[in-house]
Structure formats: structure tokens, C-alpha cells
Structure 1
Amino acid sequence: MTSTPGPPDRLGRRQSGRTPESYRLQPRRALVDDVYEAVKALVMDQVVAAGERMSIDGLARDLGVSPTPVREALTRLESEGLATKEALKGYRAAPLLTREEFDDLFAFRRLIEPWAAARAAERIDDVGRALLAEELGSASAPAGTSYDDYRRLTEHDQRFHSLVAELSGSPQARRALERTHGHLHIFRLHFERSTGHETLTEHAAVVEAIRSGDPAAAEAAMIHHLEAAMNERIRTIYDTDGPEG
């Protein structure tokens, strides 16, 4: 597998100019999780382009590992919707979200998450307040735009939204939200340095409203967060010759 540097594509996505070999793991017995994160980084950074074939043997050579952990990594990525598998053909990097898929994802989140935030505010106790404060304190804005830079923000985003859903008292809402893997698909689609600061500021507003036990404010803060992400930070790429759908 090879990759050559190039100018930003029509979506303005990250173009790191890095090759798969530059993601090679350190010479030691790589853990399965290490290989998984390395392969995920190739997909998230667009080093492996959407729709491009991912050879198990080729990735193993590039990363300096055996094929077995690569195969396990691709299976995990398939479960997250970041890879697709075709019978007798192997794996490919999943397509980026089309506009229709993007709108559908946010319509679902717009239904579930404001309700969950309001319910969390109604039910909040000292334990919940501590959990929210701890999660918010675990995050920081990334310095760059590669997956290695914003990986922790992605993980925080997943944990934060899952925690709010959990505090709503509805395991079904939490499971439904987690199954979308929306944080990965959104950050893969578009990420800028300013995104981190804006996301954390909006999370802080949601936390403040829930911790204060104000359901209306919590619902409003979550609506603002989702609509800012949808309308101001992401959807505009579809208005500038973005993915078809």
C-alpha cells in the first residue's frame, strides 16, 4: 500500500501526506488493541481512502505485525461501520456518510439526546454530578487535526453522550445511541482544530444544566450542541460539492 501527499480534497478533509508505513508499530509484540488503533487511524486520517481495499497481508507488512491482529482489527472496524466486508473479496474502508445518512443520524440524535439530557437533569444526584464533572475534566482540545491528535476527544465524545443517556435512566436509549457509532463517523467526515474547543464548551453547558437539575436548560443546551455540530460545523461541506446522497 502506498500513499502520496496531495492538496486538500473537495471536502477539505485532512491530507496528512503520511504513508501506511509511517503508522508502523514499534518493534515489540504488538497488542491487538494497538493494531486496531493503528488500522483505525489509517481510515480516520483518509490514508486509506473511503472505498479503498484493505489487504490483511498488506496492512500486516506495513505495520510490521502478523495478519491475525489485523484481521481482528478489521472485524472490529466492520462492527463500527468503518469497514465493509465482501464475500471472497475482503475488506474495504467504508464510504463516508452521504448527506441523507448524515441527516438521518442527526434526526435520530435530535429526538433522543435532548430528551435524555432533560431526564438526566430530573434524576441527577451527587454520584451523577461527580461522574459528569470527572468526564468533562478528562477532555482537552487537540492541537492538530490527525486522528492521533483528536483520538482522545473522540473517545471523550463517545463517553460523554453515553453517560448523559445512562443518567437518563434509560438503558435502551444508551444502547441505541452507542450502536450508531456517530462520533466516529462525524469526526471522520470533518474535523478542524476549532471543533475541539467548540465541542468542549458546549459539553460544559450541558453538564452545568444537568448538574443544576434544570431539565429545560439541559434540553436546550443539548439541542444547541447538536444543531451547532450539524448546521455550523459539518453540514456546510455538503453545500460545497460534498458526498453525494
Structure 2
Amino acid sequence: MTSLQGMAPRQELADEVHALLRGHIMRGTIPPGVRINIEDVARQLNVSPTPVRETLARLESEGLVDRQPRRGYRATELLDRDDVRDLYELRMLLEPHAVEAAANRADAPLLQLIREELERGRELTRDTSTISPAELSAHDERFHDLIFQAAGNELIRQSYARTHCHLHIFRLAYSDSYDDHTILEHGQILAPLVAGDAEAATEAMRRHVLSSEARVMRYFDSQEPKKAAWHGNPATL
């Protein structure tokens, strides 16, 4: 393994450790429920325990690890069917309202950012044989966050962000629930949003949330969550 030691500045090292551990949790190479030993991880990465502790605190705030008294950290369990339904109920309450507000406000700079984000999503799916689920998940999160920004209610935006909905849906079924359907539906939201047609934008968002929920529910019905191969010690990264 390439050592992370010697990188500068300190924040860059912390960000590298965070990105690495977060990626392994999201892909399942650190499986749900597995204990993450700070000293073992630090030794594997050839770094001090400090950036590993900082990373685990950040991952706890994202809901990707739990801290257990006297036992340290472990990767959180996957969402179950009821958890997913609760998240989609929240989405249905908040996101149609947000896109309606965004269409009525029609903030030109933010609308341009949303256009650019959609184009990035389209670029990701131009070749369906090379679609990256992780990149599509990140696009999905950015697209919806920009709509919350455009709606102009920071409290609602932050409340939704704390659910880390997209992270957990991706982690549950990352190879099944993100595909070019997501991008097509984003385009159907953007067109009326840019036109200031609040009613049509709201309906497009409702359809998108319902379609996304249906895709994830089909995943529950068809198979167990997929995980990458696991070979022993969670510190073996």
C-alpha cells in the first residue's frame, strides 16, 4: 500500500484518510457492523492516529459509523425497508416544495449551476458501459442540494442534508438504483424549473421521487445488498 505519510498540509492528509475510509464503507469493503480499529488503520496507512480519529468523527456525523462506549467505532448497518420508506416519505414532503419555491424564485446564477450539474450527469451516462455508480450518486446529491439552495430556505436544506439520504441509498444498492433513468428524470425537472413553471416542476419532482423509491424497493424484492469481496481485517485497506 502507498503510504499517506508526508502529505501536506495537515488538512489534505485528513481529507485523504476520510476519502479512503468513506469509500471503503460505501463500497462495502468495510462491511456493515464491522469494528474499525483506529490504531490498526493508522498503521496500515502509515499515519498517526489523529487523522483517523478525525475521519471517524466526520463519518459519524454522516451516519456511516457508530461510536460505541468502550468499544470504539463500527460501520453502521445498512438501511432496512422501513428506513428507506421513511427517507422517501421525507423526500416527498420536502423536495416538491423546494422545487416549487425554486421555480418561483428563478435565481439565474443558481439555475445556471443546476444546468451545469445536469450536464455533468449526462456526461457520466453517455457510455452506459462505463457508468460509475459512485459518481452518479455524487451528482444526484449535488443536483438535489442545488435545488434546495435555489429554494432559499437554508433551514430546510440543512435539515435534509443531515439525513445523508443519497449516501445511504447508494450504500444500500449502489449498483442498481443509480443509472441513466436518474439523469433523464433530472432533465424533466430542470426544464420547467428554468421556465418558471412551478406546477410542472413540482409534478416532475414528485414523479422522480416516486420512481427512485420504486427502483430501490425493487432492489429489496430481488436480492440481498451487494458487497465487494472481504478478506479479513477491516484495517486491511
TM-score range, shorter chain: 0.7 to 0.9
Partner of 1:211: 194
Number of aligned pairs? Answer: 217
- Given that residues 54 and 90 in structure 1 are in contact (C-alpha distance below 8 angstroms), is that contact kept between their aligned partners in structure 2? yes
Determine if contact 1:141/1:196 at 8 Å carries over to the other structure: no
Residue of structure 2 in register with 1:121 after alignment: 103
Residue in structure 2 matching 1:157, options 140, 152, 161: 140
Q: 1:43 to 1:59 in 2, by over 3 A?
A: same
- Structure 1: give runs of 5+ residues left out of the alignment: 1-20
Does the aligned pair in 1 maintain the 2:111–2:150 contact within 8 Å? no
Higher mean C-alpha displacement, 154-163 vs 74-83:
154-163
Q: Aligned pair 1:238/2:212, yes or no?
A: no
Q: Does 1:166 align with 2:155?
A: no
Q: Which has the higher contact order (CA 8 A, sep 6+)?
A: 2
Q: Which runs of 4+ in 1 moved over 3 A?
A: 24-28, 142-145, 149-152, 240-243
**1:71-220 alignment, distance < 5 Å:** 71-139=53-121, 140-141=123-124, 149-192=132-175, 195-220=178-203
% identity of equivalent residues: 37
When the two chains are superposed, the root-mean-square deviation of aligned CA atoms in Å is: 2.2
In 2, the alpha carbon distance for the partners of 1:199 and 1:114 equals 16
| CA spacing shift, 1:196–1:104, aligned 2, 3 Å | same
1:227 aligns with 2:210: yes
Q: 1:230 to 1:193 in 2, by over 3 A?
A: closer
Output the TM-score relative to the length of structure 2.
Answer: 0.83
- Aligned residue number for residue 36 of structure 2: 54
The amino acid across from 2:115 in the alignment is A
Change (3 A) 1:101 1:90: same
The answer as to whether partners of 1:206 and 1:222 remain within 8 angstroms in 2 is: yes
How far is 1:78 from its partner? 0.4
Alpha-carbon distance in structure 2 between the residues aligned to 1:226 and 1:133:
19
Whether contact under 8 Å (1:141, 1:200) holds in the other structure is no
Rounded Cα–Cα distance in structure 2 between residues aligned with 1:164 and 1:109: 13
